A and B are shown apart, each in its own frame.
Chain A
Amino acid sequence: MNSRIDSCQFKTISRRGLLKLTPVAVLGAFAIPQLQKPLLKGGLRFSDWASTRLFRSGHLAPTFTDSDLTPFEKFPINDYDVDDPEVDLDKWTLAVSGSVQKPGDYTLAQIHALPKVTQNTRHVCVEGWDVIGRFGGVRLSDFLKTIGADPTARFISVECADDYYESIDIATAMHPQSLLCYEMYGQPLTREHGAPLRLSIPTTIGYKQAKYLTHLKVSHVLEKVGYWEDQGYPEFYGL
């Protein structure tokens, strides 16, 4: 036995021990509706910041052999609205604007003229499923060079024929595996998969990889982030 105290002293030190735990009550702020939103927004912003810190421009996403591919018919078609926004494929052009030297409408032939890249990469959906697909197209970085994108610009935003919109940061856009994709499994993109042009970016989450592209804008500031991000999804969801 080391020490001896009386029951009054014991009550005092016990009470002190309990009172020291009051900081735990701070977590109760999350239960207050007015505070909950800004707190969760802060948490999400911190996660986005951590994600950008973890991103390495030179680090390649895993690539796979043909035998690892998910069969084409089992590659999900995930739309927020319609499978086929009825793009007029003959008249289609990609409208380029923003901080670029050569804005204007680019045809599919102009995009095809750039060096072709084909890669088997994993497509990860925020819902939790993943598939491995074969994607063909041109490097987004090559296209950005073609249009004379301002090297100090920070974002690439795209708009789509189904009114979907997205944006990616310039580091992700310049990654060697980030594609303007016009082919899947060696065939021209089908309408459900985003004909004639979609994004395929294996270093980021699925909802960033917009289909049926119609506009591409290079900018220093974002007016809106993306269809899902503006409803509460993480803004930077690099994998």
Chain B
Amino acid sequence: MATRATAIEDVRTGEVTQAVYEHPFVVRLCHWVNAVSLFVMVGSGFQIFRAFPSFGAKIPQKDLLDWPKALALGGWLGGALQWHLTFIWIYIATGLVYIGYQIFSGNYKQVLFARRDLPGVWPMVRHYFFFGPKPLTKEVYNPLQKHAYTSAIGLGVLSVLTGLAIWKPVQLSWLAWMMGGFHLARLWHFLIMWAMLAFVFGHLVMVVLHGWNNFVSMLTGWKKDPEYDAE
């Protein structure tokens, strides 16, 4: 899927640069709303976890870690539940709008990791981690990026499903059963959050490395001088 570029002529110098409209409005909106929701869900999730920081028995209780209160949101269990149970609806709604938009607009082809992206994985890994030459691409996202974003969307879906299993282990007992029971669902929910945080960490590192021009594209939609070969 080659990306179409627009030529921009500087009114003073007459110099021509390329720009690509990378991120449609709905995607940008969902991205930033979701950034806030994820922050609240993780923060309040840590406060909820502090009420019973273990995945074992209640008696005897062996705490897994003493998560600092300063890195938690809500002040106490009840407060954190209010944040969690409020932002979950924003989180779900954003996810549904995003996935729905991607499917109906066809924009998913830009993001979804597909079989044809497989051959491009190794050259990109060589470039990122072993100082190999930068492979030429014609798309907004390279194969590794697609892999990361597709995984993040999958983790988002799983975080909701595991959360539902914990919230409603009786009414949605089949969901809890699929996860190995209520007890394990809680562990999955926790691990999926860490996987999501690992994605966010990598994502932020790449944003910093790629600089302002790249960052602006998630605000305005446009990227000037794209690093890939647009047509």
Please report A residues at the B interface, Cβ cutoff 8 Å. Answer: 1-8, 10, 13-15, 17-18, 20-21, 23-24, 27, 30, 39-44, 46-47, 51, 54-56, 59, 61-62, 70, 73-76, 122, 124-131, 202-203, 228, 231-234, 238-239
State whether A126 touches B77 (Cβ < 8 A).
Answer: yes
Residue from B58, B61, B85, B169 in contact with A47 in the complex, judged by beta carbons closer than 8 Å: B85
B87 at interface by CB-CB < 8 Å? yes
Bound form: Cα–Cα A130–B182 in Å: 8
A192 to chain B, nearest CB (A): 13
CB < 8 Å neighbour of B222 from A17, A40, A124, A128: A17
Which chain A residues lie closer than 8 Å to B173 at the CB level?
A: 61-62
Pick the contact of B170: A27, A42, A47, A62 (CB < 8 A): A62
B186 interfacial by beta-carbon distance below 8 Å: yes
The answer to whether B59 has its CB under 8 Å from any CB of chain A is: yes
19 examples of A-B residue contacts, CB within 8 angstroms: A1-B6, A4-B16, A5-B8, A6-B10, A14-B220, A17-B28, A20-B25, A47-B89, A54-B168, A61-B170, A62-B170, A124-B169, A127-B51, A128-B48, A129-B54, A131-B58, A234-B85, A238-B170, A239-B168
Chain B residues lying within 8 Å of A1, measured Cβ to Cβ, are 5-7, 18, 231
Binding site for A on B (CB under 8 A): 4-12, 16, 18-19, 25, 28-29, 32-33, 36, 40, 48-49, 51-52, 54, 57-59, 61, 77-79, 81-83, 85-90, 167-173, 182-183, 186, 216, 219-222, 231
Assuming A17-B28, A27-B33, A131-B58, what are 6 further A-B pairs, CB within 8 angstroms? A4-B16, A14-B221, A17-B219, A17-B222, A126-B77, A128-B186
Query: How far is the CB of B53 from the nearest CB of chain A, in Å?
Result: 9
A74 touches B28 (CB 8 A): no
Q: What chain A residues lie within 8 Å of B87 (beta carbons)?
A: 43
Among the listed A30, A42, A122, which residue makes an inter-chain contact with B182, where contact means beta carbons less than 8 Å apart? Answer: A122
The residue that A239 contacts in the complex, of B6, B40, B89, B170, with Cβ under 8 A, is B170
Asked whether, in the complex, the Cβ of B83 is within 8 Å of the Cβ of A74, the reply is no
Flag if B171 contacts A55 (CB, 8 Å): yes
Given contacts A44-B86, A128-B49, A234-B81, contact A17 B36 (CB under 8 A): no
- Residue on B with the closest CB to A19? B220
- CB <8 Å contact, A239 and B171: yes
| One of B19, B25, B171, B220 near A238 (C-beta < 8 A) | B171
A232 near B78 with CB under 8 A, answer yes
**A12 shortest CB reach to chain B, Å:** 11
Report B-chain residues with C-beta under 8 Å of the C-beta of A17: 25, 28, 219-222
CB atoms of A21 and B89 under 8 A apart: no
Chain A residues in 8 Å Cβ range of B78: 228, 231-233
Between A42, A62, A70, the greatest number of chain B beta carbons within 10 A of the residue's beta carbon is seen for A62
Residue in A4, A8, A59, A232 whose CB lies within 8 Å of B7: A4
Q: Which of A7, A125, A203 contacts B9 (CB 8 A)?
A: A7
Contact flag A239-B58 (CB < 8 Å), given A44-B86, A232-B79: no
User: Please, how many angstroms separate the alpha-carbon atoms of A203 and B61 in the complex?
Assistant: 25
Q: When chains A and B are docked, how far (Å) is the Cα of A71 from the Cα of B222?
A: 62
Bound together, the chains give a CA A220 to CA B169 distance in angstroms of: 29
Determine the distance from Cα of A61 to Cα of B171 in the docked complex, in whole angstroms: 8
Inter-chain CA distance A40–B216, complex, in Å, is 32
Q: In the complex, which residues of chain B have a beta carbon less than 8 angstroms from the beta carbon of A55?
A: 171
Kindly state the separation between the CA atoms of A8 and B10 in the bound complex, as whole angstroms: 8
Partner of B6, one of A5, A126, A127: A5
For the complex of A and B, the 7 pairs showing the least CB-CB separation, nearest first, are A43-B86, A128-B52, A232-B78, A17-B220, A127-B51, A129-B58, A47-B85
Q: Which residues of A contact B59 (CB under 8 A)?
A: 73-76
Q: Least Cβ distance of B192 to chain A in Å?
A: 16
Taking CB atoms, residues of chain B closer than 8 Å to A44 are: 81-82, 85-86
